[in-house]
Amino acid sequence: MADLRVSLAGVEFKNPVIPASGTYGYGREYEALYPLSKLGGISVKGTTLHERNGNIPPRIAETPMGMLNSVGLQNGGAEKFIKYELPNLVTKDTRIVANIAGSTIEECAELAGMLNDTAVDMVELNISCPNVKAGGAAFGTDCTVAGAVTKAVRDACSKPLMVKLSPNVTSITEIAKSVEANGADAVSLINTLLGMRIDIKTRRPVLHNNVGGLSGPAVFPVAVRMVWQTANAVKIPVCGMGGISTAEDAIEMMMAGASAVQVGAAIFRDPYAPVKIIDGMNEWCDRNGIKAIKDIVGTVKPW
Amino acid sequence: MYKQGLYPIIKKTASAKGIFDITVLCPEVAELAQAGQFAQLLAEGFFLRRPISICQIDNAAGTVRMVFEVRGNGTEALSRLNVGDNIDLIAPLGHGFTKREGRAVCIGGGIGVPPMLGIASGYGADAAVITGFRNAAAVILQEDFKAAGCETILCTDDGSAGIHGFVTTALEEYLKSNKTDSIYACGPMPMLRAVAAIAEREGIFCEVSLEQRMACGVGACLGCACRIMQDGKEVFKHVCKDGPVFNAREVIFDG
């Protein structure tokens, strides 16, 4: 039995596996299968200041070894999250990562402030959603804006702050350095890659939003590369995600430099995926004489 | 409550061209399942699961029957599974049809016919089942509806079997001389829209089963949105969890 505990921005997680925001709701749908206490934490559905109805369907398209989504941050708003979801989540004995998104810098700061006196363990600021018109990736693709929104949220937020980065940029390390300089305690990456599918019979894009975010095993090598580059460019910890489906993927991501990992689209295929990954990592450590999983972080030996 | 696991296929038939009929031994799923719910099936080599409606539940035998059409490469892969093979499924999912007092008409169009067998069987002789297909070669499940005691009215687009015409025409004709308390329907959007309009005009309770491109199947990802009118406001509900069965009066038909 290896020690699977990891620390991310000063928060200790019992293991490094966290279902990614938008793929797990608030956990309610998966409790039918296993207790949520098995998970390191849960990054909850992206929360906005006010209720959002999301994008017009279809919102899902299958791709080779992955999928596109354009859900568009459908959620009940911050008040509802704090009043109805959080009281349920705090009883689950797992870390709560509150994923927040705003359409203006002021809105992001207000949202973060609302969480100060709650049981949330960490705030994950989403500056990378590809499916919304205002805010979202517009914040995460420009170093100056990414820095400014991070600073505003940092000033308003008393919780550990992780900033979720977009891969749809020329240099993710420059964005990461900018959010680090402006007070982020950690970065999480990658959000989805912008993609498109077309139905050749109707000549219509499969998604009503025309474009959407690509996730699943198809993006895994891109994610490993970006996590590796980012971990080498900043001093704050990196939470790695993008196409992780197996324990071996999670281990690879941690060797690339991730202190913890998030699992997303894999859950749609196998709802037990996070639990299987945790068990598989434990077995791998035992087989390989690794006493503590944190010892493998960033241990890749580049050529 | 739902289960996920590998369950053996114990029966498989090709019921019409491109239509496969499989029975899976999964007592823990059969015990929970209700008419109108669905399963998420894993197709080898494809990332997302395929949502397939549950056609028949046999609690005593511990089986669930599903009838699906080969529409693309994913369902084609599912169709290659044989008796003795295990199928990876998540089920039962969503909420099904509401069984009510009185007499019912169940309407199915094409591959929308299989999910009607469960609710129609619940009514037995108190249900008429109006089904529509492209042609005689595409007709499925008529004997099953008859075995359940239902009256069957068959329609085809080309008149090669049953009535030459649409299910909606047959429905209007049926309602003229038969007192009906509930209407249930599954099929293409234009058919559902027309059935809902008839039910509304006649003041009959009506439920429809919807389809949408889906990812998680359990209500977590919010991918399978559909347009629903709630308290005078249009909202996006989700086919997998809020549906697939909705009261027809709430549905905004846009397809």
Query: Using one digit for the tens of pLDDT, what is the confidence trace for A68-86?
Result: 999 999 999 999 999 999 9
Q: What is the pLDDT, as a whole number, of residue A133? A: 66
Average pLDDT, chain B: 95
- Comparing CB atoms, the residue among A54, A69, A267 nearest residue B236 is A54
- Is B184 near chain A, with CB under 8 Å? no
Nearest chain A residue to B94 by CA distance is A29
- Is B237 near chain A, with CB under 8 Å? no
Write phi, then psi, for A84 (nearest 5 degrees). -110, -35
CB contact under 8 A, A62 and B46: yes
Contacts of B49 in chain A (CB under 8 A): 268-269
Q: How many whole angstroms separate alpha carbon B242 and alpha carbon B255?
A: 19
Q: What is the pLDDT, as a whole number, of residue A235? A: 98
Contacts of A61 in chain B (CB under 8 A): 213
CB contact under 8 A, B236 and A74: yes
Select the residue from B236, B242, B252 to test the A interface by mutation, using most A Cβ atoms within 10 A. Answer: B236
Q: What is the DSSP string of A267-300?
A: HHH-TTHHHHHHHHHHHHHHHTT-SBGGGGTT--
Q: How many whole angstroms separate alpha carbon B115 and alpha carbon B127?
A: 15
Q: How many whole angstroms separate alpha carbon A56 and alpha carbon A71?
A: 8
Residues of chain A short of pLDDT 70, as ranges, are: 130-136
Taking only the tens place, the pLDDT of each residue in B38-48 is 999 999 999 99
Torsion of CA B29, B31, B33, B34, to 10 degrees: 170
Q: Is residue A207 one of the residues assigned to a domain?
A: no
CA A15 to chain centre: 16
Residues in contact with B23: Cβ distance below 8 Å, sequence separation at least 6, in sequence order? B9, B10, B11, B12, B63, B64, B65
CA distances from B160 to A121, B133, B137 (A): 66, 10, 9
CB contact under 8 A, B215 and A69: yes
Q: Is residue A1 one of the residues assigned to a domain?
A: no
Report the greatest alpha carbon distance in chain A: 56
B176 three-state secondary structure? helix
Residue B30 · residue B59 · CB < 8 Å: yes
Q: How many residues does chain A have?
A: 303
Predicted-assembly ipTM surpassing the 0.90 threshold:
yes
Contacts of A33 in chain B (CB under 8 A): 4
Q: Is residue A222 one of the residues assigned to a domain?
A: yes
CB contact under 8 A, A206 and B213: yes
- Comparing CB atoms, the residue among A56, A59, A268 nearest residue B48 is A268
- Comparing CB atoms, the residue among A53, A206, A271 nearest residue B90 is A271
Q: How many whole angstroms separate alpha carbon A157 and alpha carbon B239?
A: 37
Q: How many whole angstroms separate alpha carbon A256 and alpha carbon A250?
A: 10
Write phi, then psi, for B92 (nearest 5 degrees). -80, 145
CB contact under 8 A, A265 and B47: yes
What is residue A31's DSSP assignment?
T
Average pLDDT over residues B102-106: 97
Tokens of A185: 């305690």
pTM of the complete model: 0.94
Q: Is residue A236 one of the residues assigned to a domain?
A: yes
Average pLDDT over residues B140-155: 96
Crossing angle of helices A247-256 and A273-287, rounded to 10°: 70
Q: What is the pLDDT, as a whole number, of residue A136? A: 67
- Comparing CB atoms, the residue among B47, B212, B241 nearest residue A58 is B212
Tokens of A214: 């690509």
Residue B32's pLDDT band (boundaries 50, 70, 90)? very high
For residue A161, give the CATH number of its domain: 3.20.20.70
Tokens of B91: 């089920």
Distance from CA of A183 to the nearest CA of B (A): 31
Residue B195 · residue B116 · CB < 8 Å: no
The number of C-alpha atoms within 13 Å of A190 and in the hemisphere containing its C-beta is 34
Contacts of A66 in chain B (CB under 8 A): 47
Q: What is the DSSP string of A94-133?
A: SEEEEEE--SSHHHHHHHHHHTTTSS-SEEEEE---TT-S
Q: What is the pLDDT, as a whole number, of residue B3? A: 96
B253 three-state secondary structure? coil
Nearest chain A residue to B6 by CA distance is A270
Taking only the tens place, the pLDDT of each residue in B62-92 is 999 999 999 999 999 999 999 999 999 999 9
Q: Is residue A201 one of the residues assigned to a domain?
A: no
Tokens of B9: 């296929």
Beta strand A186-189 with A238-241: parallel, antiparallel or unpaired? parallel
Active-site residue, A157 included:
no
Q: Is residue A301 one of the residues assigned to a domain?
A: no
Average pLDDT over residues B189-218: 96
Q: Is residue A151 one of the residues assigned to a domain?
A: yes
CB contact under 8 A, A59 and B223: yes
Q: Is residue A185 one of the residues assigned to a domain?
A: yes
- Is A276 near chain B, with CB under 8 Å? no
Q: Is the peptide bond before A167 cis (omega within 30 degrees of 0)?
A: no
Taking only the tens place, the pLDDT of each residue in B215-252 is 999 999 999 999 999 999 999 999 999 999 999 999 99
Beta strand A95-100 with B127-133: parallel, antiparallel or unpaired? unpaired
- Comparing CB atoms, the residue among A23, A56, A60 nearest residue B213 is A60
CB contact under 8 A, B226 and A57: yes
Contacts of B47 in chain A (CB under 8 A): 62-67, 216-217, 265, 269
Taking only the tens place, the pLDDT of each residue in A194-241 is 999 999 999 999 999 999 999 999 999 999 999 999 999 999 999 999
Distance from CA of A292 to the nearest CA of B (A): 32
| Other CB atoms within 10 A of residue A16 CB | 30
Beta strand A212-215 with A193-195: parallel, antiparallel or unpaired? antiparallel
Domains assigned to chain B: 3-93 (2.40.30.10)
Contacts of B223 in chain A (CB under 8 A): 59-60, 69, 71
Residue A246 · residue A277 · CB < 8 Å: yes
Residues in contact with B125: Cβ distance below 8 Å, sequence separation at least 6, in sequence order? B149, B150, B151
User: For chain A, how many structural domains are there in total?
Assistant: 1
Residue B254's pLDDT band (boundaries 50, 70, 90)? confident
In chain B, the percentage of residues whose pLDDT exceeds 70 is 100
Q: What is the pLDDT, as a whole number, of residue A128? A: 82
CB contact under 8 A, A60 and B215: yes
For chain B, positions 31-90, list CB contacts with chain A under 8 A.
Answer: 42, 46-49, 74, 90
In chain A, the percentage of residues whose pLDDT exceeds 90 is 94
Q: How many whole angstroms separate alpha carbon A39 and alpha carbon A68?
A: 26
CB contact under 8 A, B47 and A217: yes
- By residue range, what is the domain housing residue A11? 6-53+73-192+217-296
CB contact under 8 A, A269 and B225: no
Residue A54 · residue A69 · CB < 8 Å: no
Beta strand B63-69 with B86-93: parallel, antiparallel or unpaired? unpaired
Catalytic residue among A108, A129, A239, A285: A129
